[in-house]
Structure 1
Amino acid sequence: MSSVGKKETRKTKNTGVTRREGTSKTLARLKKDRLLYIMLIPGCLYFLIFKYGPMLGLITAFQDYNAMLGWFGSKFAGFKHFSRFFSDPKFFQIFRNTLVLAFCNIIVYFPLPIILALLINEVKNGKYKNVIQSVLYLPHFVSWVVVAGICMTMFSAESGALTGAVSGLFGREVRVLSEPAFFPALITGQVIWKECGWGTIIFLAALTGVDMQLYEAARVDGANRWRQMWHITLPAIKSTIITMLILRMGNFLNTGFEQIFLMLNSMNREVGEVFDTYVYQTAMTNGKISYGSAVGMFKSVVCLILVMISNKIAQKAGEEGVY
């Protein structure tokens, strides 16, 4: 046998041995960490059943879906429902309303958990800090139905506790629940009250990884607490902030069905109708399953594009991004 043949045979044997060793190491790691992998099963099942499974229903967006015929018996319609939606006069109204609430969430709500986490981090008394965190977390566990009920009671035109104060502020009788101009502020205020405290958890966790020696060195150099926060704390959690912002862009058009649906009425529907409520109205109430699926798919595609764009911008700026 030639030297070349011997080398190739030896190389093949070495490759086979390397593969067997790699497989053995992988099996050993799986066996060692089997309890951790078992703990992953419920989460994986959740995503498979409730996230990836429903994606099969997107096929109805390209059909004239008939529940009696099913997916495979319904007539293929192509982009008919998308064209119909884009030519519908309500498209621009719904898109505008969704964008207004989405920008309110990004511009007004998103920075507040960061600011609140920074303030909580400055509290040095451990017991007092725990009490503050517990109080701020509690609203997250309140149902949107309860939040809507509280809001309607507080701003009721007849007996609302805050109705008189708002009317006095504007110098006229104000009906907060029915005047369209107050709807975005009302929805954003509810989100802030309910979710702001809960949103601090991730940022507080990121703050625990900041090296305390940096603060000691800054104090030696004469930096006050504001300077320490600006030059040490914020740069330390910058990557976390950017990651959360990218993930938030994935839900940019998800303004929340339950909250919006509960606060809608005949007076504010013109500014309150968003993609989520419109999908429910068309698909579930009017029975237009294919049309509702097309609207929902359009919203999801836009969110996917926004995630990809924001991730690319983050990478161009020197950050890792989410993928």
Structure 2
Amino acid sequence: MAMAEQAVSTPRNPAASRTGKAAGWRTFYRNRWFYLMMVPGLAYYALFHYAPMAGTLIAFQDFNLMKGIWGSPWVGWDNFRIIFDNPEFWPLIRNTLLISLYKIVGNLIPDVLLALMLNEVRHRWFKSLVQTITYGPYFLSWVIVYGLVFSFLSPGSGLISTFVRDAGWGQIDLMTNQDFFRPMLVLTEIWKTTGFGAIIYLAALASINQELYEAAVVDGAGRWRQLWHVTLPGIRDVFVLMLILKVGGILDAGFDQVFIFLNARVYEVGDIVDTWVYRYGFERLEFGVAAAMGVFKSVVGLIFVLGANKLAKKVGGNGLW
């Protein structure tokens, strides 16, 4: 007890404090150029990621463009009640979740398969050629992709539609077919993004210790055994990380793609949360309702990220943190 009282009553050493501060300033000055290089990145996130968060207030207002955020009247949770009472709400959620789940499965598996196949290629020129061909579509906008799909599948003049009609097999109209709309989204997404996703897994494959393969060969493991016991465990953490990121954006079904491919005949299966927000925000000018839906999406995304991260840790992964 006496030692505790003595420790509490003992004053701090001013000299030691000044020495620590001086050392901290010296460290800061020595790394000043590194801190200076951080400024553009910090400014970007401050201006374009954190400052716009003030717009979240619109979700609780009857927002008026002329009055602005600070002059618009507050309505509390009324905008959220409009969303949840809307008969379109649950069909929107169903369409968004289904399209997102299809894309998650349809994107992750082809990415891994392409990376595994390229990893087994020993001719560098052929590997580079395949990577270039598969990575190229990633740089195309969805407008161009839609133009390519339309040139093949348009009802009147599409290449495939014309071939089917001239062959006497009847008239097909896949662009407005509800049963084909979601598969079309997934297939075009695979074609556009698989090359980019494979590069991420190729980087993970390159980081695997080659001594593990040598040890597996010594133990008599063939190529399939090496794949199962060395390669797949080596990219497991990257796979889990990509899965968590995609699950976190499960209510982002890809606005650009869906908005361009969407038409009146497929609204029942293709209308998603983001297209609904676009209509309410830019066509009806109901900015408060659109912002409320954005807040709802953010909360759901946070819940999914936390849940996926916790689940990943339970099954043996590292998670995001």
TM-score relative to the length of structure 1:
0.90
Closer/same/farther in 2, CA of residues 261 and 231 from structure 1, 3 Å limit: same
Shift of 1:172: 5.3
Conservation of the 8 A alpha-carbon contact between 2:97 and 2:253:
no
Aligned equivalent of 1:13: 13
Q: Distance in 2 between matches of 1:23 and 1:244?
A: 42
The answer to whether structure 1 residue 50 and structure 2 residue 16 are counterparts is no
Aligned to 1:37: 35
What one-letter code is carried by the residue in structure 2 that aligns with 1:251? G
Structure 1 pair 145–63 and aligned structure 2 pair: CA distance change class (3 A): same
Q: 3-state DSSP class of the match of 1:75?
A: coil
Distance 1:243 1:42 in 2: 27
Q: Structure 2 CA distance, aligned partners of 1:22 and 1:317?
A: 44
1:202, CA displacement in angstroms? 1.9
List per-residue Cα deviations over 1:213-243 (Å, max 9, x = no partner): 1111212222121211111011111111111
Closer/same/farther in 2, CA of residues 266 and 6 from structure 1, 3 Å limit:
closer
Q: Do structure 1's residue 109 and structure 2's residue 107 form an aligned pair?
A: yes
Quote the offset at 1:120 in angstroms: 1.1
**Offset of 1:116 from its aligned partner?**
1.2
Choose from 79, 91, 94 the match for 1:93. 91
Count of residues in correspondence between the two structures: 319
Unaligned runs of 5+ in 1: none
Structure 2 gap ranges (5+):
none
- More deviation, 105-114/94-103: 105-114
Q: Which amino acid aligns with 1:159?
A: S
Query: SS of 1:157's equivalent?
Result: coil
Q: In 2, Cα distance between the equivalents of 1:115 and 1:306?
A: 26
RMSD of aligned Cα (Å): 2.5
Change beyond 3 A, Cα 1:114–1:105: same
**Does residue 293 of structure 2 align to residue 295 of structure 1?**
yes
Equivalent of 2:214 in 213, 216, 219: 216
CA distance in 1 between counterparts of 2:181 and 2:276 reads: 17
Corresponding residue for 1:193?
191
**Contact 1:82–1:295 (CA<8 Å) still a contact in 2?**
yes
Moved more, 209-218 or 130-139: 130-139
Determine if contact 2:155/2:173 at 8 Å carries over to the other structure.
yes
Q: 1:119 corresponds to which residue?
A: 117
Offset at residue 6 of structure 1 (A): 7.5
Q: Shift of residue 196 of structure 1?
A: 0.8
Partner residue in 2 for 1:148: 146
Q: Given the two structures, how large is their TM-score scaled by the length of structure 2?
A: 0.91
Q: Residue 315 in 1 paired to residue 310 in 2?
A: no
Give how far 1:33 is off.
Answer: 3.8
Q: CA deviation at 1:186?
A: 0.7
| Residues 156, 163 of structure 1: 8 Å contact kept | yes
In structure 2, do the counterparts of structure 1 residues 60 and 272 end up closer, same or farther at CA, with 3 Å as the change threshold?
same
Moved more, 45-54 or 296-305: 45-54
Q: What is the rounded CA distance, in whole Å, between the counterparts of 2:160 and 2:29 in structure 1?
A: 61
Q: Which moved more, 1:128-137 or 1:288-297?
A: 128-137
225-234 vs 128-137, which moves further:
128-137
